[in-house]
Structure 1
Amino acid sequence: MNEMRPSPVRSGASVAVALIFVLVLLFAINWAGSFLKPFALALFIIAVTWPLKSRLQRFMPSMLALALTLLSTIIIFFAFTMLVVWGFSRVATTFIGAAWQLQVAYQELTGWLSSKGITAATSLNDVFNVGLLVRTLQQITGQASTTLSFWLVVLAYVALGLAELDALRGKIDTLHNPQMAETMLRVARATSRKFARYMLVRTEMSALTGFLFWAVATILGLDYAVEWGVIAFALNYIPFIGSVIATVFPAAYGVIQFEHWQTALALFICLNLIQFTIGNYVEPLVSGSLLSISPFMVVFSIFFWTFMWGLFGTFLGVPIAIALLTICEETPSLAWLARLFGRAPPAETPAQRAVLELPAPDKKG
């Protein structure tokens, strides 16, 4: 007896409907970005802080554990923000006041290129669009005015989400489909573990990058060596874009400070070597394949979510990809996507599982 197979017309219609659904979904995500960005960031923070709250609930009531978790999150964020503001404010005034020296250095470079038969613009004004710069500064100023309200919304989401975790887990346990309930809990635990590992590796690599930037700046005699190290540490949390900014600014300042362009070029090369080595060799070696995500998916996620949500998308791109691939791993019909865009995680030792496994919530009120 011949098996029933879908006709080519029906298969083509299914593909077309799926593509239309994906396009409509992407349009909706982009259109609702102002609402979804704080919500997505709050989910990420909840996933990272969930283990801390669960461990605190072993020794104290859940409300006190919630309060301490929120307080720790606020303190860390405030300290990080003050560190970034201190680093940028220290170098900004000197950098802007001596920016005219960049014009002089640029004219010397164009003169040298002209002597070699290479035509280049003779003024930085021919390279940079001043109107675009003014509009960019206006956009940054406008975003700065909404920063406080944005983070207040995120904090409200985090507080409500952490408070509802135990109740949500109880609701999941009462589902009539035990297999679905177990899958949901397993996805939540795995995603939280991977987010924690992602942030741990990011912090370690950022600290290493900041230290090496400070060391190179000190050796070459660049002013504000500590500040450049702090800026590199902070910007390294933003994949690709942060690394580029952290390299270009100290190199440009080196053009202003040093009399010889060779020293500034050496600084630029050293800083790029640091970023390239850490980003392409050290960080993948440290994190291994625990995150189960391919390098292609990492790059695609960063650029795609940057296009969708701007700077917040740059930061959240990899966590979103990690979460989606974790869901695919636990869904039989989508497991092929996890195998295609992920990597098989290494076997965890009992000690690693004891550290990363989330404890059961305490019933204390």
Structure 2
Amino acid sequence: MREPTAGLVLIGICAAVLIGAALSLARAVFAPVAFALFVIAIVWPFQRWLQTVLPKIVAILITVAVTTVIITVFASLIAWGFGRVVRSVINDAARIQAIYAQMVDWLETHGIVLAGLWAEHFNMRWLIRVLPEVTNRMSGTATFLFVVLIYVILGLLEVDDVARKLRLARRQDIGPVLLAGGARTAVKLRRFMLVRTLMSALTGFLVWAFAALAGVELAVEWGVIAFVLNYIPVIGPLIATTFPTLYATAQFSSWQTGLIIFAGLNLIQFLVGSYLEPRVAGNALSISPFVILFTVFFWTFLWGITGAFIGVPIAIAVLTLCDEHPSGRWLAELVGSRDDRMEDRA
């Protein structure tokens, strides 16, 4: 019995590696599809309600229009917040370079060899070149979002047909699993986005209030950035605390003040993300923290910033589908929550 089992494990590992390589190489194809499926799961109840009072095509057009407006607002907030920060850094480049030089000198006088490496590979001219490039890449997501919207339109047109085909599928063990798993996944993803939106709004407000009270410039921009980036687990909050800390350090010319700002921002992230959010979400979205961290970095490695955003929803979908089939239920119980299954089936 051990040899076949070992062989199956080896085959599974090889299959996982090949699938990961395929997803990475074909990211231009798979990433928009995954994002579109996520959007469809979120907006489908709205379209279904519209279809009760309007023709199907009109309901789809209204749904897509509302989705486009929401995505455009988020993209505009990101561009506005980071754009203002980039312009401020460029306008104040000379003072920031001087502060950076003082920090390097202080580190070198205390025998920190790493300071020499910083001086060799990092300077403000390099930072000024990088920041606009980051902004331009963020603006280049317009093409990606356009492709996503095309997939969303086509997907919304076929939701009913796909459900009907699954009910009539010859493989009676597959159709019910996909239907039930898909329905439960959609419910979980909508709950995930609702909780994330509430917690992101609270985080953005608290960051703005703290930055304003501390006298940090661009407090509104830091609040907006924290609100948007909070949708990206792990990586988003890290960026939302690091950038204001560096900016505050340069503004006040004091690493002690920067340390206070850093501690305050991380306290906000901890209270909202680790204390309030689990209590609002309950057990329904309970996933092992290790799995969340691995998922975020794994999908970021494969698909970049898109993967960082969509990674946790993909994990929720995979675990929910595994929970619907006896052969995969062990995985859902291992990294998920048993109470979650009981709650959804109650």
Query: Quick check: TM above 0.5?
Result: yes
The residue that corresponds to 2:190 in the other structure is 196
Cα 1:327–1:18 change in 2 (3 A) is same
Q: Which moved more, 1:66-75 or 1:136-145?
A: 136-145
The residue that corresponds to 2:91 in the other structure is 97
Q: How is 1:9-20 mapped onto 2 (pairs within 5 angstroms)?
A: 9-20=3-14
Number of residues of Structure 1 aligned to a counterpart in Structure 2: 345
- In 1, Cα distance between the equivalents of 2:261 and 2:14? 50
The residue that corresponds to 2:333 in the other structure is 339
The residue that corresponds to 1:230 in the other structure is 224
Give CA-to-partner distance per residue, 1:7-66, whole Å, 9 cap, x none. Answer: x44443333333322222222122111211111111111111111111222222222221
Larger CA Rg, structure 1 vs 2: 1
- In 1, Cα distance between the equivalents of 2:157 and 2:251? 53
Q: Which among 60, 63, 76 is matched to residue 66 of structure 1?
A: 60
- In 2, Cα distance between the equivalents of 1:74 and 1:203? 17
- In 1, Cα distance between the equivalents of 2:162 and 2:251? 58
Q: Work out whether 1:220 is the aligned partner of 2:186.
A: no
Q: Which among 168, 171, 193 is matched to residue 165 of structure 2?
A: 171
Cα 1:310–1:76 change in 2 (3 A) is same
Give CA-to-partner distance per residue, 1:133-182, whole Å, 9 cap, x none. Answer: 69967975784575332222111100000011112122222234555433
8 A Cα contact 1:107 1:123, kept in partner? no
Cα 1:88–1:117 change in 2 (3 A) is closer
Cα 1:292–1:284 change in 2 (3 A) is closer
Q: Work out whether 1:280 is the aligned partner of 2:274.
A: yes
The residue that corresponds to 1:270 in the other structure is 264
8 A Cα contact 2:108 2:115, kept in partner? no
Amino acid of the structure 1 residue aligned with 2:75: T
Q: Which among 324, 328, 331 is matched to residue 330 of structure 1?
A: 324
Amino acid of the structure 2 residue aligned with 1:36: F
Q: Which among 313, 320, 323 is matched to residue 307 of structure 2?
A: 313
How much has 1:256 moved relative to structure 2?
2.6
Cα 1:132–1:22 change in 2 (3 A) is farther
Amino acid of the structure 1 residue aligned with 2:327: S
The residue that corresponds to 1:360 in the other structure is none
The residue that corresponds to 2:242 in the other structure is 248
How much has 1:274 moved relative to structure 2?
1.3
- In 1, Cα distance between the equivalents of 2:213 and 2:123? 35
- In 2, Cα distance between the equivalents of 1:147 and 1:118? 40
- In 1, Cα distance between the equivalents of 2:125 and 2:91? 20
Give CA-to-partner distance per residue, 1:322-361, whole Å, 9 cap, x none. Answer: 11101110010111111111112356599xx9xxxxxxxx
Structure with larger RCO (C-alpha < 8 A, sep 6+): 1
The residue that corresponds to 1:39 in the other structure is 33
Amino acid of the structure 2 residue aligned with 1:301: T
Q: Work out whether 1:125 is the aligned partner of 2:139.
A: no
SS in 1 for 2:338: coil
How much has 1:79 moved relative to structure 2?
1.4
SS in 1 for 2:154: helix
How much has 1:68 moved relative to structure 2?
1.3
SS in 1 for 2:339: coil
Q: Which moved more, 1:70-79 or 1:261-270?
A: 261-270
Q: TM-score scaled by structure 1?
A: 0.85
Question: Equivalent pairs: percent with the same residue?
Answer: 44
Q: Work out whether 1:299 is the aligned partner of 2:288.
A: no
Q: Work out whether 1:208 is the aligned partner of 2:202.
A: yes
8 A Cα contact 1:29 1:36, kept in partner? yes
Q: TM-score scaled by structure 2?
A: 0.89
Q: Work out whether 1:55 is the aligned partner of 2:78.
A: no
8 A Cα contact 1:99 1:256, kept in partner? no
Amino acid of the structure 2 residue aligned with 1:205: M
8 A Cα contact 1:205 1:283, kept in partner? yes
Q: Which moved more, 1:130-139 or 1:281-290?
A: 130-139
How much has 1:280 moved relative to structure 2?
2.1
Q: Which runs of 5+ in 2 are unaligned?
A: none
Q: Which runs of 5+ in 1 are unaligned?
A: 1-5, 354-365
The residue that corresponds to 2:177 in the other structure is 183
Q: Which moved more, 1:226-235 or 1:108-117?
A: 108-117
Aligned-pair Cα RMSD in Å: 2.8
Cα 1:37–1:138 change in 2 (3 A) is farther
Amino acid of the structure 1 residue aligned with 2:156: L
